Structure 1
């Protein structure tokens, strides 16, 4: 099987350039992503989540600050799995199926602040499990199966402030008592632990610093506080407690919980009277926020009479199956500033219901069944936020939001609104955020021609808009974000956005915009501060290399352009499409079925630092060239995943001196050589997953570099697999034994230099003493090869010429005046001459061989000049080879000058021919030439040599004539 030249070249290249890199601390943590510099303890992150690890990966950089190994299958952790990580502040080991951690492991993290062990299989917390974590502030042990906590497990956690034990099997509140040994504990989450009772005496007899306690989702039958152990409690959650059994509420002193500001009583299994008693009798002096969600069995009207406590600020009542809000429900809620009736079944609201809550600033009625607004909010002069999303509102009137002069946020998305009256927003002078997505709007009309100077965000996605008219948004001078995506827009009039002087983000994605829609640059005029433009998922396509009017030429401030994922492919990307975008920094051009990038594509975008070209088709070698990147020297991040490239060699001369991130997964890359790596010296992250790597010595440098580099991280290196040779297909590229590729460079250089010296001496010797013999042997060999290919042709085709004339240019006059008139003029022979019959532009040696083998005879005109000519020497050598090979009389020698035999000695082959071959002499001046021409005619007519010629050809000497 023939060797692959590419691989041979790679091996030879490696032979002379293998670099042995010392194994210092490097980005060799298999499968993990390292973010930040290895010597920067402030930002160094190691992310190893969702990697399928069964053991702790190693080595972990010693200066790591954030380490995430969640969502693996580690099962057990031993002391020796970690080295000392003094800079580590955050450790995430959640969702890793850990059932056992060896005591003493945590001593490796003396400065740890956050430890996440949630969603594992830990059954207990031993006395030494957390030893050494003196600086720990947040500990998550939720969603384990913990049944017991050692008495001294938390004694060393002097700075612990937050502890989450939700979702364990502690069963008794007394089992939680050991955690109180942490002197600064402020937040304790013990929901879903199967507690059937909460008795403060089983937890502590002395006051605690706790500010938050979550007891939700426990099947409590009793909630009892007999001592004032919560003097600082701010948040109390007992939601979803009690389950199917009645829960007893007992406070021996009504002031024990007077510091609570947030109380969650959602879905508590109290009888209605008991819940009213709790709200009425407990001294809630500081209560600001009350959650009464999911109390479906209670009378909401009655409940509201007691829920609106004097100082209450926020009331939430989700999932209570409320269908009507009547006029007197909120009579006692005059101090409320936020009211949430979301996720109910409200279809009717009596307008007077809000007459008493005049201080209301936030009203949430989302996910209900309202069909109309009906001027509900006229009694709420200070209302700032209204959420009416996900209702059934189909029509709006001019009075619906009248007098809401303080409103700054209005959510109307996911309704059935088909029309916006021109007067609908006329009095909302302070409106800042308006969301109208997922309705049935066919047109915007003149709703935004009224002045809304403070509106900053307008979202109208998922409607049925088809055209944007001129001056549609003329009253929105302060608008910063406009979202018109996911409509049916196919036409935009010129200057449709011309009044949006402060607009920074415009989204027109997922519409029916074509290249004709944005043909005129005036479509985007009037937005001098636009920074981001979304045009992805439209039907824009081009068929010309350049455009007469580049569509973005007026957007000189644009920094982000997303034009990816055009539905039918963009066809071609015109070389001047981006003309005018002198501030562009990020370009999304993926999934457009591009097959080529013009070298001038980014000529107008010198500030570009992010480029995404993924999911295109760059199969041809010249699809992307180095010249494409010359105008963007600031490019920092390049994404070319799934573009079918076979090589990254176009980056060799791209001059990307700032490129720090290169992502090229899912291509057909096979070899990453040293020259490419050296050309990308600033690279920090390299992602080449799912490529077709060759696992031989051609990739040895890449593997060694990937494992040893302390600057560049090859992301998920352990996932790289072999595609060649077939015997290693599917194996990890790291299984390649690169040591076998290492060579003794000194020995190789010695051998090479020795061979070079010997070759130099040999060439010098041959040139000095044997150059003519070697030259003759070369052309004899060439003639032999040519003769073999011509034999079959001669068997099928007749000769083109009767004779090939070999002569020196000095004798061209004799040929023209004597030879041609007699042989062609009088005798009618067809002759082949250099100046007349050689094919122009063809190598001369090929012309000579064709001339000789396409002629029955070869006539050599011998003179002193002929013997001195290199080309004449080659011609007679080829003719001689034909003479001896074919065993036929194909050579005629004519001496135009008297040349003694001894003067032929330098031309050894010529002297042998003269001795063995019959030849003719041109008569001297004044002698009759008729006999000469007659003999030449006879020689040309001879088809086979006479007997004596045959004898000569057998090697017998013939006497001189």
Structure 2
């Protein structure tokens, strides 16, 4: 694997063998991968795909690349507005499809074509207003259809006809207003069993169409119904379970004509009707009614009980009846009741339950439910014993205290729920005598202290939940008699310290939850009483912290040989920092270890050496400078199947760390600093089936060439593989498809071929500049003039000026006072071109110079020392000299205003070259000689020299 990695590097020693090695990689079965653009394949169910919250706007972007053997797809929480025809045509084995929360507005005919195996379709929480006739075409095996929370103001009569196998139809809160339309659309659904029409806008059950005979459960709650007989006596004749709660039904006589003879359960809560009058006129079976929310009242209970007959009754439900006091309520006339539910009333005190019941009821009552009331205390009561009472639930009350013997009336109680109250005082013997109790829930109360006798009689207790109280100290011997206790939940309390007697007596304890406390230190002595039975230990969110690598004298978990689940994540406030050497020594049966959210700085290389049975390990969100893991840290974890290293600061994957994880199937590496994935590591992980590399800065380099080759076979799922973009501002594209041709090229040869000409060019540029700078510049200006159509070269063309005067500003006085008057005077016949007078405004200086030279027959260069030092004057004489040599015409007249020695002119080699080919005129200081000067100058401007003569001079 190391050789392969080296070979794939540009310039590697095995460069000539790169194509062969790449082809070999394609043949290695372990080095193969696959992924999906916007879905994740569920590892434990290969046919299930989650495409949730991917900001998708069309269905094809979610399912287009899914395999044909997909059985479950969830595309919820996206922004898909429309389902085109044949959207899922390539998924013939699909059984479950969820499209919840998608802003879906339109389903085209045939959208679900070829989904003959689909049995569950969830389209809830969308914006569907209309469903066409062919919307569900092809779903002949669909059994569950959920359309709740849409905008279906009406139903097309033939929309549901293709659904011949439908069992459950959920139309909850779908804005339906016409029951007749709904009933008509159900024709042909011969297997429909449940119909939910709650929270719609139905005001009547009037319908000419009958409901399917198979329909036995009909939910019509939260509508605007006023009566139930509009549909005739046959409409509801087959319904066995009917929910009419929270409507506006006040006409009790309508029930007499509704044909409800087969009802076994009827819920009428929230309707303004008199239940006694209802029973008198409707012919309803009293046992079929749920009496919750019917304002029965204290006196009504007796009347209802008389109508229930004498045969035992399973449930008497009296929820939401505004019952405030039970002293005037008597159940003595009721038949034997198995479950009495008084929830959602306004009871402040329960009194003695036995006194409310007759002798027959006391022998049969098994379940007492008084939830969501105003109970503030539970007091001693032992007037009558309820021998068969097994379950009591007083949840969601305001109970502050539980007195001595509060449940002595139920000596055989097995389940007691007192959670979600305000219990601050649990009397020492409040639970006295409950030797048969197996489950006690006291969570979410205000308990601060537990006493030795609090649970002394609970010898059969299996589960004790004390979560979310204010317990700060566990006194010795509190649990001494709970030898059968299996689960103890003390999470969310205020425990700071544990001692070796905190769990004394818990010989059978297998699950201990201590999360969310303030425990700062743990030792092997603490767990000594439970070391032979403890299997699950939760210490999440405590204050354990280790800041040195000093080894424990005795590891804290040394004797917990049966523990298989240990949670140590999110220690507060800054995490554990360091995991000491042999910290987990003794946990020979551990299979699940959670260490995430601990901001680890260091982990000892031998920390996991004793965890040979470990199957799951999470170190996620532990990045606090740890970066790469120490070599050999996982060397003994040959059975590890899932490793979560998300956001731990990894920069590289090495064989020294991951080489021994031969059973690993799932590897989470998201949010790390990985730029490459080592092919040797991937090859070593032969059982890998799931790899998450999201938000890693993977590079499009030759080191990741093998990554593309993983796409050939389907063995390892790389989460959102096709969304990994190249991590570089200069690289465009994706990791799975970047250009790999450079990896097979001789990079050195190409670099030499490119750099050698560039090097030679840079060497020649100074020489060219020195030798031909002005000539190149001249031709550049000539070319530009030609492009701009200003080129003047044709023989015989009439010139605009007789001469262009090239001079320095220092010599301007001589030009204006001597040269111009002498040549442009009344006696003169010459027209001169001067800078300040004849240059065109708005045009560049260079263009003006070029135009002036080529629009003049001659160029007069007025030479002085100032002239030689001027860059513009140098340009003018250069351009004029190029015209001289290129056109072979005598166009240049040189006038020297002062005597300049040859040694000073030697630096101006271009001018020297011109002087050797032409004579020049010097300005004399004597007045007599000046007359001769002007004569020579006029003659030079008038005369022409033939081409042959000029050539001969050269």
* TM-score, L = length of structure 1: 0.70
Shift of 1:253: 4.6
Match of 2:270 in 1: 267
Matched, 1:65 2:98: no
CA contact (8 A) 1:217 1:241 kept: yes
Matched, 1:179 2:186: yes
- Of the candidates 580, 592, 617, which is equivalent to residue 574 of structure 1? 580
Q: Deviations over 1:844-900 (max 9, x none)?
A: xxxxxxxxxxxxxxxxxxxxxxxxxxxxxxxxxxxxxxxxxxxxxxxxxxxxxxxxx
| Whole-Å separation in 2 of the counterparts to 1:26 and 1:156 | 40
Q: Secondary structure at the match of 1:143?
A: coil
CA contact (8 A) 2:674 2:697 kept: yes
CA contact (8 A) 2:140 2:164 kept: yes
Match of 1:110 in 2: 116
Match of 1:541 in 2: 545
CA contact (8 A) 1:349 1:376 kept: no
Match of 1:363 in 2: 368
Q: Secondary structure at the match of 2:113?
A: helix
| Whole-Å separation in 1 of the counterparts to 2:588 and 2:668 | 25
Match of 1:326 in 2: 327
Q: Deviations over 1:638-674 (max 9, x none)?
A: 1112222222336665311111111122222222243
- Of the candidates 109, 130, 153, which is equivalent to residue 136 of structure 2? 130
Q: Deviations over 1:895-918 (max 9, x none)?
A: xxxxxxxxxxxxxxxxxxxxxxxx
Match of 1:278 in 2: 278
Q: Secondary structure at the match of 1:469?
A: coil
CA contact (8 A) 2:499 2:525 kept: no
Match of 1:336 in 2: 337
Matches within 5 A, 1:120-199: 120-176=126-182, 177-199=184-206
Match of 2:618 in 1: 612
Shift of 1:155: 3.1
- Of the candidates 223, 237, 243, which is equivalent to residue 243 of structure 2? 237
Q: Deviations over 1:159-192 (max 9, x none)?
A: 2111112222331111112213111111111223
- Of the candidates 666, 675, 678, which is equivalent to residue 661 of structure 1? 666
- Of the candidates 699, 715, 719, which is equivalent to residue 711 of structure 1? 715
Match of 2:301 in 1: 304
CA contact (8 A) 1:425 1:447 kept: no
How has the CA–CA distance of structure 1 residues 262 and 70 changed in structure 2, closer, same or farther, with 3 Å as cutoff?
same
| Whole-Å separation in 1 of the counterparts to 2:398 and 2:260 | 42
Q: Deviations over 1:379-413 (max 9, x none)?
A: 53322222223333232222210031221111122
Shift of 1:34: 0.6
Q: Secondary structure at the match of 1:108?
A: coil
How has the CA–CA distance of structure 1 residues 202 and 332 changed in structure 2, closer, same or farther, with 3 Å as cutoff?
farther
RMSD: 3.4
| Whole-Å separation in 1 of the counterparts to 2:455 and 2:86 | 70
Q: Secondary structure at the match of 2:181?
A: helix
Match of 2:739 in 1: 740
Residue range with higher mean Cα deviation, 590-599 or 146-155? 146-155
Match of 1:450 in 2: 456
Q: Secondary structure at the match of 1:181?
A: coil
CA contact (8 A) 1:596 1:618 kept: no
Matches within 5 A, 1:239-258: 239-242=245-248, 246=250, 250-253=254-257, 256-258=259-261
Shift of 1:588: 0.9
- Of the candidates 519, 524, 529, which is equivalent to residue 523 of structure 2? 519
CA contact (8 A) 1:651 1:679 kept: no
| Whole-Å separation in 1 of the counterparts to 2:597 and 2:692 | 19
Q: Secondary structure at the match of 2:301?
A: helix
Matched, 1:530 2:534: yes
| Whole-Å separation in 1 of the counterparts to 2:392 and 2:351 | 17
Q: Secondary structure at the match of 1:525?
A: helix
Match of 2:55 in 1: 52
CA contact (8 A) 2:480 2:505 kept: yes
CA contact (8 A) 1:221 1:248 kept: no
How has the CA–CA distance of structure 1 residues 106 and 25 changed in structure 2, closer, same or farther, with 3 Å as cutoff?
farther
Shift of 1:302: 4.2
Q: Secondary structure at the match of 2:603?
A: coil
| Whole-Å separation in 1 of the counterparts to 2:674 and 2:303 | 71
Residue range with higher mean Cα deviation, 387-396 or 626-635? 387-396
| Whole-Å separation in 1 of the counterparts to 2:7 and 2:104 | 46
Shift of 1:376: 5.3
Match of 1:889 in 2: none
Match of 1:599 in 2: 605
- Of the candidates 176, 180, 203, which is equivalent to residue 209 of structure 2? 203
How has the CA–CA distance of structure 1 residues 25 and 334 changed in structure 2, closer, same or farther, with 3 Å as cutoff?
farther
* TM-score, L = length of structure 2: 0.70
Shift of 1:697: 4.9
CA contact (8 A) 2:108 2:132 kept: no
Shift of 1:482: 0.2
Shift of 1:85: 2.4
Match of 2:690 in 1: 685
Residue range with higher mean Cα deviation, 433-442 or 490-499? 490-499
Match of 1:726 in 2: 729
Q: Secondary structure at the match of 1:324?
A: coil
Q: Secondary structure at the match of 1:519?
A: coil
| Whole-Å separation in 1 of the counterparts to 2:269 and 2:669 | 51
Shift of 1:290: 1.1
- Of the candidates 560, 563, 576, which is equivalent to residue 558 of structure 1? 563
**Larger radius of gyration between Structure 1 and Structure 2:** 2
Matched, 1:292 2:292: yes
Aligned length: 724
Q: Secondary structure at the match of 1:250?
A: helix
Shift of 1:313: 3.1
5+ unaligned residues in a row in structure 2: which ranges?
751-954
- Of the candidates 27, 33, 39, which is equivalent to residue 40 of structure 2? 33
Shift of 1:710: 1.2
How has the CA–CA distance of structure 1 residues 416 and 662 changed in structure 2, closer, same or farther, with 3 Å as cutoff?
same
| Whole-Å separation in 2 of the counterparts to 1:683 and 1:336 | 58
Q: Secondary structure at the match of 1:662?
A: strand
| Whole-Å separation in 2 of the counterparts to 1:98 and 1:349 | 51
Greater relative contact order structure (CA < 8 Å, 6+ sep): 2
Match of 1:9 in 2: 9
Q: Secondary structure at the match of 1:67?
A: strand
CA contact (8 A) 2:43 2:690 kept: no
Q: Secondary structure at the match of 2:593?
A: strand
Residue range with higher mean Cα deviation, 331-340 or 106-115? 331-340
Q: Secondary structure at the match of 1:180?
A: coil
Matches within 5 A, 1:769-784: none
How has the CA–CA distance of structure 1 residues 34 and 154 changed in structure 2, closer, same or farther, with 3 Å as cutoff?
same
CA contact (8 A) 1:605 1:631 kept: yes
Match of 1:354 in 2: 356
Matched, 1:500 2:506: yes
| Whole-Å separation in 1 of the counterparts to 2:266 and 2:709 | 60
Residue range with higher mean Cα deviation, 308-317 or 337-346? 308-317
5+ unaligned residues in a row in structure 1: which ranges?
753-961
How has the CA–CA distance of structure 1 residues 214 and 524 changed in structure 2, closer, same or farther, with 3 Å as cutoff?
same
| Whole-Å separation in 2 of the counterparts to 1:751 and 1:132 | 62
Q: Secondary structure at the match of 1:325?
A: coil
Matched, 1:438 2:441: no
